[in-house]
Structure 1
Amino acid sequence: MTEKTALGVSPQDLPACPVETTLKLIGNKWEVLVLRDLMPGTKRFGELKQSIGGISQKVLTSKLREMEADGLVERHVFAEVPPRVEYSLTPLGRTLKPVLDAMEQWGTAYKKRIAAGR
């Protein structure tokens, strides 16, 4: 039997390549945008949906659940009427900040290069 980590993932379930492992977790544009929007702090579902733009409620719900299962996002439910749910990054999710920073720097440089005519 394969032993699973606290996140419910077996090391054997992960690709051997670390880059591929990272892509498996955040290789979708929606996941990266959720990370970007939660990096400054906690947000409610509606705030995320509005700030990401173009994402359906169904897809956002699905991505948040996946990211919660992967240990990147925490879901906080408050016992209120109407119910209030907030999302934030876990300490593990916060470790992706340098990755997002590098993506931002690369994207900025690329846009400048294209604007300058290469």
Structure 2
Amino acid sequence: MSEGHTDVTTPAPAEPVVSCAEECGVRDVQDRLGDRWTVHVVVELAAGPRRFKELQRLVDGVSQRMLTFTLRRLERDGLVSRQVFPTTPPQVAYSLTETGHSMTHLIKQLIDWSLDHRSTIARSREAWDARNPA
């Protein structure tokens, strides 16, 4: 460094890929997509309308209570619509709304990313576990 040089030179920080400086609503979406059953339910409904019991069979491991809770939350958010048929006993079918269908593109990207990086993540976990036994 020269005698008269007193400025510290550092590279300019890279522009972030994403940011959410103000309230951008991402937490609501994250809460919905981050729960245990939403993605599974949306994936099944992407194929078309489903009755409750059919959804319960397709979403492996979900209880009746949790499926009901998940469907109600998705309906409240405008992602799923519920149609009641006037039969005895009443039949109910669930389907994705237009907004729900638009979310399937994000889920597809997440699934693709997961498949592309699954082995890298597994190797990283094995290495970390080997360095941190216990």
- Find the structure with the greater CA-based Rg: 2
Per the alignment, residue 4 of structure 1 pairs with none
Contact 1:68/1:74 (CA < 8 Å) preserved in 2? yes
DSSP 3-state at the match of 1:54: coil
Instruction: Tell whether 2:26 aligns with 1:19.
Output: yes
Q: Name the structure 2 match of 1:74.
A: 81
What SS does the aligned partner of 1:29 have?
coil
CA distance in structure 2 between the aligned counterparts of 1:88 and 1:31, rounded to whole angstroms? 13
In the alignment, is the contact (CA less than 8 A) between 1:73 and 1:89 conserved in 2?
yes
Superposed, which structure 2 residues align to 1:100-111 within 5 Å?
A: 100-111=107-118
Structure 1 match to 2:100: 93
* Alignment partners' CA distance in 2, 1:22 and 1:114: 24
Normalising by structure 1, report the TM-score: 0.78
* Corresponding letter in the other structure for 2:67: L
Give 2:129's aligned residue.
none
CA distance in 2, matches of 1:59, 1:38: 16
Deviations 1:67-86 (CA, angstroms, capped at 9, x unpaired): 11110100000000121110
Unpaired stretches in structure 2, ≥5 consecutive residues: 1-21, 125-134
Q: CA RMSD in A?
A: 1.8
Alpha-carbon distance, 1:112 to partner: 4.3
Q: Deviating runs (4+, > 3 A) in structure 1?
A: 112-115
What is residue 29 of structure 1 aligned with on the other side?
36
Matched to 1:101, the amino acid is K
Identical aligned pairs, as a percentage? 37
Distance, in Å, in 1 between the alignment partners of 2:31 and 2:24 is 11
Q: Distance in 1 between matches of 2:69 and 2:29?
A: 19
- Please list every run of 5 or more consecutive structure 1 residues that lacks an aligned counterpart in the other structure: 1-14
Paired residues of 1:39 and 1:94 also in contact (CA < 8 A)? yes
Residue of structure 2 equivalent to 1:62: 69
Count, aligned residues: 103
